[in-house]
Amino acid sequence: MQDGIRLTCLSCGQANRFPFTKLKAGPKCAKCGVMLVGDDVAALNDLRHDKAVRADDLPLIVDYWAPWCGPCRTMAPEFAAAAKALRFLARFAKIDTEQFPAISQRLQIRGIPLLILYAQGKEIARLSGARPASDIEAFVRQHL
């Protein structure tokens, strides 16, 4: 970890790098100033999705959802609660698959809500269906 941690800003897409020791001090994006490791769920677009999935040194879990999907809306507060519980272990983000359908096609997503966990540029595991926060936490911990 001498090179530090690389993290894509989930708000603006800027690539950031900072020393590992600063991780819990609340590092901010050099470009837009948001916290790089916050405890909230960042809304991604397609470009930031691909950058964050590819390059980040912290695991990323993405909620593939859509506004018309009732179970997705039910799960949103559960996902947000898991994000708070797992801060510094993984970053949490969501992407609207209605707004960015090409992402769903590429990832062969057939049903939502779907969670995909990424680490070191690779897909690690998927969890489908609306889940309580405890299931989401267990899923992430089991695979990291």
CB of 137 to Zn ion, least distance (A): 27
When computed from its CA atoms, the radius of gyration of the chain, rounded to whole angstroms, is: 14
Query: Is 69 part of the annotated catalytic residue set?
Result: yes
Annotated catalytic residue, options 12, 29, 32, 72: 72
Choices 11-19, 40-48, 92-100, 107-115 (CB under 5 A): range interacting with Zn ion: 11-19
Spatial distance between the Cα atoms of 104 and 39, rounded to a whole number of angstroms: 25
Query: Residue 9 or 86: which CB sits closer to Zn ion?
Result: 9
Other CB atoms within 10 Å distance of the CB of residue 119:
18
Q: Using alpha carbons only, give the angle 35, 37, 105 rounded to the nearest 5 degrees.
A: 105
CB of 122 to Zn ion, least distance (A): 24
Query: Residue 9 or 69: which CB sits closer to Zn ion?
Result: 9
Task: Build a one-symbol-per-residue string for 12-51: x at contacts with Zn ion by CB under 5 A, - elsewhere.
Answer: x-x--------------x-xx-------------------
Spatial distance between the Cα atoms of 117 and 124, rounded to a whole number of angstroms: 5
Query: Is 12 part of the annotated catalytic residue set?
Result: no
Which residue among 5, 7, 9, 119 contacts Zn ion (CB under 5 A)? 9
Q: What are phi and psi of 79, to 5 degrees?
A: -65, -40
Residue with tokens 């926060």: 133
Spatial distance between the Cα atoms of 34 and 113, rounded to a whole number of angstroms: 27
**Count of residues near Zn ion by CB under 5 A:** 7
Query: Residue 34 or 107: which CB sits closer to Zn ion?
Result: 34
Spatial distance between the Cα atoms of 105 and 39, rounded to a whole number of angstroms: 29
What residues line the site for Zn ion (CB under 5 A)? Answer: 9, 11-12, 14, 29, 31-32
